[in-house]
Amino acid sequence: MIHEGLTENLVSVNSDAETQRQILKDLASRLYKGGFVKDSYMNAVIGREILYPTAIDMNGIGVAIPHTDTNHVNEAKIAVATLKKPVTFIQMATQDVEVPVTILFMLAITNPDKHIELLQRIVAIIQDEEVLHKLQSANTAQQIIDVIREKESLLDN
């Protein structure tokens, strides 16, 4: 369950970040301050996003799922952000298709075998357009956590 490990200090609501680098640094520093990732994580996740883009256009709502190798992670966690204004990311499996991203799920993964399972869970959440709109309109970290928890409870039934 994604929401179980999600705490308010790992959620950035209506971020003012104006660049991909700014929002990646914000989320990575939240994970670092919590002790969940090593000091190498931030540069590793920024570098990996350049080589292996993670943005997905979900019916006009851009979502990015940045992550990096397990050797930069101490404890598995997810950080989430919503943005006031879209930030340009590159679409997954391309090198030049731009996606205006407003929602991010940053993954700190310790077990590569769980990586695909976690991505499938996130995709199941973000395929619900209503959930994406609720995430975008949330005004508090707790509201974001609640939206994810509600969606996950429906997935598990």
pLDDT at residue 73 in the model: 97
How many whole angstroms separate alpha carbon 80 and alpha carbon 122? 11
CATH code for residues 3-155: 3.40.930.10
Secondary structure (3-state) at 38: coil
pLDDT at residue 19 in the model: 97
pLDDT at residue 50 in the model: 95
Residue 139 to residues 87, 100, 143, Cα–Cα distance (Å): 19, 20, 7
Q: What is the mean pLDDT of each run of 10 residues along the chain (157 residues)?
A: 90 98 98 98 97 96 96 96 98 96 96 86 95 97 97 89
Considering only the C-alpha atoms of the chain, give the largest distance between any 2 of them, rounded to a whole number of Å. 39
Secondary structure (3-state) at 59: coil
How many whole angstroms separate alpha carbon 110 and alpha carbon 119? 14
pLDDT at residue 92 in the model: 95
